[in-house]
Structure 1
């Protein structure tokens, strides 16, 4: 074996080994789900090309899809903490399968809009539960790696599904709706048969502001939280008073507004420029392909670097990557712009998720993840309205220029929020070994407000 091959093998072993079996079943469930992620990606093209509606109507339906996610994100977060991770995921997935299949048969514009809202509500409800379960079963020092691998699964499925869906859509969109419904059902079966409940049964001690003390991360991977006397209530008010966490949510909202344009405004803009749904499928598949190829090595590279600089850089790459779309006139140039903002996405995702988990108390993970998911849902609601309106009234170039501005604002916000974080700290949990159990090393940033 050559030296380079040996290094690749060691890197692969380091990246994939040491995670609990439950994580890999959750990973498999994620992969199966994303293999069927057709509808949200192609909904705008379905409405404008197949049904002949305007970009504004497509934006309205996309906004209602996002509104459904807004409604379900917080509610699903509460259910995740109260009812449990596994039942919340099953309810969400079964509801998604039913509503997606129903949407494929809707013809009346009002019915399409109403069912799209139901699809958004159901499909977003599983996110807080899945992220909370992952934090439950993975040891603190492995969480960034686990989130990166899960994000890799999302995009591996997306790269395959978006390419296939672009070709299938040329022969009829109903197959896309029914195909997604079938694969979501398969995802639910994996959860039902292979994933036990992981919700901690007893409260642990907390610090002011809703954050847990060190016992949160002393639990062994996949185990229940240790019992500590004195029940502590974690409510949505606790989350809202956590100033630092809510700032992270707000900054993520800005970036989510950018990333949503890839599935709302980009296909409409390409269609207006004479490109086909297959062209869009090819272009957007670049996003998934790059993440599949680079997510793991990039995560290894960034894992012990300054999170402040990573978040600032990722915001700039996202903003200016979308901004460059104004210069695109061919499939190749569109693909290049996707590559730029995808690099920002690769850097941002594990870094941001590591920060979210570190700020979330163990018995409030569902609520905290629900609030974080809410930022994506609000973006799903606002981005289609914003994108469709700007394209209809000012043209796509104005929209892409605005994306560059938003990316810059987000970068400045991350710099202000994390300026006190030491450059040597990483958002991956840094193991502190000594006489006591393994705990997380806390980043030295100001305590949350409230």
Structure 2
């Protein structure tokens, strides 16, 4: 009993109460998130769109999300995490209902763009708030726990969504809207805004040669941060592969004679596996280099997607999902921790927004490119191409490891006031140790 209690305490003990409210919000939000899971099937079977038009609508969702990520990151830093989250969630809930009632392509496309904008504007604010409230030593564990909650909800949503789709696809949109509103209320009521001073708000930047303030634009700072942009770019390419699971995979399965309910069960395996094993991932990866873990996870996911080229039966599709899910499980917490480690405290929201942009660009490009490759070159070419791309991304993560570790060490030293950071990447750090002290 004592041993079991120690294991449980190592898994969930010591995290702040605010984190658990955020965790609860993630769980509830994901319980109703079946809309995107079944969107490709809904558009092709219920609305009668071609693969290319369905990919266009899903891509427009991603395009709106790209703008939302940048806007949400900016507002999270300038306006605050809580008001940004509340506005984004309420807007997303409203657009979710509107999209459920939309019928023609132009209306669906317009709703998709706006829904993506509001839904993804919440992501950087949520991530920044989690980093605010969780100490650095506990972040891998916190991200793993949150990812576990996301996938508990995802697994349930995929299975229940399959049954709801049999009744009426409108139910998917309405349920999703309700869970978004509940999440917004929990976070807004229960999670306090972290004092900007504690987040590391930047003091005025003083030029090295003296004189008055010389403010540096946050976006310009990020665009000069090659280490962070390299991580973001690599994530874009791996996301292009991963998002085929919600765009081209359901279409491939229905072409092989599998219905929406079967797809729901098979894709729910992704969530079930993460629920069963994600909490033990921090112990598995231990003190391993985050870049090496991410590289392994991306490559393993690529193997799973590549093997989809040879799947034509339900159990074979389930096997491929199992493989790429194992890669996802070890990749996700280390990837999130890398982003947090490389983000200066004063610009967490905007760094999170730019990183989220990689997911939103992939969301816009993945269904469109996947649909084009599948229609012009065939199903096997799409999936084998996914493997080749992930192998290259994995190599990129390994090559970038030394630079990332140097940057992380610089940020930690600057936060302790023991070093002055080199010019360029950290906002204001090149000019003054006081500004450098705002780093993560």
TM-score (norm 2): 0.89
Cα offset, 1:371, TM superposition: 0.3
Q: Does 1:357 align with 2:340?
A: yes
Q: Does 1:113 align with 2:96?
A: no
- Structure 2 match to 1:315: 298
Cα offset, 1:306, TM superposition: 2.3
Q: Is the 8 Å Cα contact of residues 84 and 199 (structure 1) preserved in structure 2?
A: no
Cα offset, 1:203, TM superposition: 2.5
Counterparts in 2 of 1:318 and 1:206: CA distance versus 1, 3 Å: farther
Count of residues paired in the alignment? 417
- Structure 2 match to 1:274: 257
RMSD: 2.9
Gaps of 5+ in 2: 207-212, 431-440
Select the residue among 297, 304, 318 that pairs with 2:280.
Answer: 297
- Structure 1 match to 2:328: 345
- Structure 1 match to 2:154: 158
Select the residue among 49, 56, 80 that pairs with 2:52.
Answer: 56
Q: Using the alignment, how far apart are the partners of 1:439 and 1:353 within structure 2?
A: 23
Q: Using the alignment, how far apart are the partners of 1:362 and 1:232 within structure 2?
A: 17
Select the residue among 361, 380, 400 that pairs with 1:378.
Answer: 361
Q: Using the alignment, how far apart are the partners of 1:12 and 1:248 within structure 2?
A: 33
Q: Using the alignment, how far apart are the partners of 1:194 and 1:147 within structure 2?
A: 20
3-state DSSP of counterpart to 2:196: coil
- Structure 2 match to 1:30: 26
Q: Is the 8 Å Cα contact of residues 299 and 390 (structure 2) preserved in structure 1?
A: yes
Q: Using the alignment, how far apart are the partners of 1:199 and 1:271 within structure 2?
A: 51
Residue by residue over 1:130-156, the C-alpha shift from the partner in whole angstroms, topping out at 9 and shown as x without a partner, is 000011111111111111111111111
Q: Using the alignment, how far apart are the partners of 1:353 and 1:106 within structure 2?
A: 35
Q: Using the alignment, how far apart are the partners of 1:133 and 1:240 within structure 2?
A: 23
Cα offset, 1:12, TM superposition: 1.6
Q: Does 1:147 align with 2:143?
A: yes
Q: Is the 8 Å Cα contact of residues 141 and 440 (structure 1) preserved in structure 2?
A: no
Q: Is the 8 Å Cα contact of residues 136 and 199 (structure 1) preserved in structure 2?
A: no
Cα offset, 1:234, TM superposition: 5.5
Counterparts in 2 of 1:165 and 1:231: CA distance versus 1, 3 Å: farther
Q: Is the 8 Å Cα contact of residues 205 and 214 (structure 2) preserved in structure 1?
A: no
Q: Does 1:398 align with 2:396?
A: no
Q: Is the 8 Å Cα contact of residues 97 and 180 (structure 1) preserved in structure 2?
A: yes
Select the residue among 95, 100, 103 that pairs with 1:99.
Answer: 95
- Structure 2 match to 1:211: none
Moved over 4 A (4+): 204-208, 230-234, 419-422, 438-442, 446-450
Q: Is the 8 Å Cα contact of residues 390 and 399 (structure 1) preserved in structure 2?
A: yes
Larger fraction in helix? 2
Q: Using the alignment, how far apart are the partners of 1:304 and 1:232 within structure 2?
A: 38
Moved more, 311-320 or 239-248: 311-320
Cα offset, 1:240, TM superposition: 0.8
Counterparts in 2 of 1:199 and 1:385: CA distance versus 1, 3 Å: farther
3-state DSSP of counterpart to 2:101: coil
Select the residue among 247, 254, 264 that pairs with 2:247.
Answer: 264
Q: Is the 8 Å Cα contact of residues 135 and 143 (structure 1) preserved in structure 2?
A: yes
3-state DSSP of counterpart to 2:246: coil
Residue by residue over 1:254-312, the C-alpha shift from the partner in whole angstroms, topping out at 9 and shown as x without a partner, is 11111110000100111111110001101110111111111111122113112232122
Q: Is the 8 Å Cα contact of residues 99 and 111 (structure 2) preserved in structure 1?
A: yes
